[in-house]
Structure formats: C-alpha cells, structure tokens
Amino acid sequence: MTAADRPVAGVIGWPVAHSLSPRLHRFWLDRAGIDGFYVPLPVAPGHVAAALAGLPALGLRGVNVTVPHKQAVFDALDRVTPVARRAGAVNTVTVAEDGTLEGTNTDVAGFLGHLRQAAPVWRADAAPAVILGAGGAARAAAVALLDAGVARLVVVNRTVARAEALALALGDPRVAVAPWEGLAGALDGAGLLVNTTSLGMAGQPPLTPDLAPLAADAVVYDIVYVPLETPLLAAARARGLATVDGLGMLIHQGVPAFRAFFGAEAAADAATRAHLLAAL
Ligand code: ATR
C-alpha cells in the first residue's frame, strides 16, 4: 500500500466533536492493522450538498452522517438503498469507483444486531413490541422490528400526530398508534419496550413508566447511552427483565460502515465496548 492508498473516511455532523465514531473506527483500524484515517468533519446545515460533492475529489471512501443531516443528504446522493428509503434517513454514504455517491442506513441493522446479541432470548413473534417516540430513531427501530417479524408494533408518542405520520410512512398493517396516556395499555403483555425519546438522557427528565404490565420475559431497550444505565433500564433490571442499552447500537451500526469504507470486518465485541466506555 502506498501513502496515496491510505484509506480515509469520516463523519459529518453539526456539532460533530461529541461523536464516538472516530474513536470506534480508529480502534477497528488499529486492530485490523489498516493504515487509514476516520475523521470528524464539522459540516454546518446548508453545506451538506457541497460537502458530499467534494468527497470524490478529496479521495474519501465515504462518510457516516449524524445529526442534523440524516434527511438532508438524500438530495445530494446518486443512489439510496431501499432500507434507507424506508427508514427515511441515511447514516452512511459511500463513494463508488466512478465517483457516484450511494446512501444507506446501518442504524436499522445496528438496532437489531445489538438486540439479538444482548437479548438472545427475545423472539420477534412472541408478543407485541412497543416503541416510545416518533422521531428518526423510532423509525429506524420500527423498520428493524417489522423486518424481524413482529406481529404487532405500537408506537406511543407525546405528540400523537407524529406517531400517526410515522405509521403512515411505514405503511404496514402491523403498526398501531397510541397516545402517551395509552402507554400502560400498550405495555400490557408486550414483549419488548424500546425508548427512542430523549427522556432519561443526562439533563433530561427520567422515563419511569410502570413496567408491571409487561410480559414476564419482556426485554427493555433504551437507545440512550449517556448515562449507560438510564432510570428506565434500572427499573427494568430491578424487575428482573432483560435490558439492552444504547451503546451497542452505536457499535453495531458501525460494523457495515467499516466494511464499506475499509473493506475489512470489524467485530462488535466486549473489547470494542470497553474502548468506547472509557470515553464516556
Ligand atoms: P430522533 O430523530 O433522535 O429520534 P427527534 O425527532 O427529536 O429525535 O425525536 C425525539 C422524540 O423524543 C420525539 O418522539 C419526542 O416527542 P414529540 O414528538 O412529542 O416531541 C420525544 N420527547 C422529547 N422530549 C420529550 C418529553 N419531555 N416527553 C415525552 N417525549 C419527549
């Protein structure tokens, strides 16, 4: 490999300094013995198209896309994969040999990959699933759960109109909507509760629903990872329920991105997790 061949990828966001992706990919690059780079790229709103158009000329292999650009990038791409269309968001852009740009979404696979690894007993078709929230993270989780084969999925959101819009966009008869006050009813017999809201995040109010109505073998998944154990997960653990935290989703979504950028396999394993935890 010559110096010119050293692969470079990065992450665009605004702000982007807080992103754990550079630390994640640096760890995997070093472990794979790849002499490459993964850099944070601060791209202000309104500059996404110009930034992406420059990727081929800069010789980048691609970029991950984080807040607030996951929707804005669509218009700047040559191709978008079906999963990204369904998720309504692109989190990974790759530069093809001919310089064209393809967008995909690895959050969907990351969400499910982490769930399967952290709670192997969970069965998609055993009981209904409940998602709290109706933003971009909720949509990625919903696409993942529908693809996994859930028989029923209830989306509960403070602003019920947003949950209805999400259900409409998903266009799947298995999806139902409930208002925030309907949460207890939605949890009755549910086998999976997923929090995609910001509640429970450091500096935000906690999320403390009564978990008693959940099925005895239910799994509680919080995509918040600061703190790693949210009040919701602590309450679930206290009830003896299986819990899934948000850090693993970040790691799992990175695996296909690393493959696309650097042509090598990365493992979402304990060493990777420990490396990220040291930075939290
Ligand atoms: P993302 O794209 O990361 O999912 P988002 O689109 O800002 O982020 O969505 C945040 C979610 O957290 C929304 O479902 C939001 O509810 P609303 O649609 O009613 O705004 C939810 N959320 C944020 N703060 C909340 C609060 N205090 N109580 C209940 N839900 C809250």
Residue 204 CA to ligand 1 center (angstroms) comes to 11
Nearest CA to ligand 1 atom 14: 133
Return the ligand 1 atom nearest residue 134 CA.
Answer: 14
Model confidence pLDDT, tens digit, residues 217-268: 999 999 999 999 999 999 999 999 999 999 999 999 999 999 999 999 999 9
Residue 159 CA to ligand 1 center (angstroms) comes to 8
pTM of the model: 0.96
In this prediction, residues 26-47 reach a mean pLDDT of 98
Residue 3 has pLDDT above 70, yes or no: no
What percent of the chain shows pLDDT beyond 70?
A: 99
Q: In what order do the strands lie in the sheet with 79-80?
A: 37-42, 8-13, 62-65, 92-95, 101-104, 79-80
Residue 158 has pLDDT above 90, yes or no: yes
pLDDT, greater one: 2 or 210? 210
Burial classification of residue 231, based on how many CB atoms lie within 10 Å of its CB (0-12 exposed, 13-18 middle, 19 or more buried):
middle
Ligand 1 test: best mutation among 71, 90, 107, 197, most atoms within 8 Å of CB?
Answer: 197
Round to whole Å and give the CA distance between 223 and 131.
11
Torsion sign over Cα 84, 146, 229, 114: negative
Residue 164 beta carbon below 6 angstroms from any ligand 1 atom: no
Catalytic site includes residue 70: yes
Residue 71 has pLDDT above 90, yes or no: yes
Average pLDDT over the chain, rounded to whole? 97
| Residue 138 burial (CB count, 10 A) | 23
Q: What pLDDT score does 5 carry? A: 80
Residue 202 CA to ligand 1 center (angstroms) comes to 15
Residue 1 has pLDDT above 50, yes or no: no
Contact at 8 Å (CB) between 76 and 52?
Answer: yes
Model confidence pLDDT, tens digit, residues 79-126: 999 999 999 999 999 999 999 999 999 999 999 999 999 999 999 999
Confidence of residue 4 (pLDDT cuts 50, 70, 90): low
In this prediction, residues 177-198 reach a mean pLDDT of 98
In this prediction, residues 128-148 reach a mean pLDDT of 97
In this prediction, residues 165-185 reach a mean pLDDT of 98
Residue 134 CA to ligand 1 center (angstroms) comes to 7
For helices 136-148 and 160-170, give the axis angle rounded to 10 degrees: 40
Q: What pLDDT score does 178 carry? A: 98
| Identified catalytic residue from 70, 86, 114, 139 | 70
Contact at 8 Å (CB) between 14 and 41?
Answer: no
| Residue 59 burial (CB count, 10 A) | 12
Round to whole Å and give the CA distance between 146 and 62.
28
Residue 81 beta carbon below 6 angstroms from any ligand 1 atom: no
In this prediction, residues 65-84 reach a mean pLDDT of 97
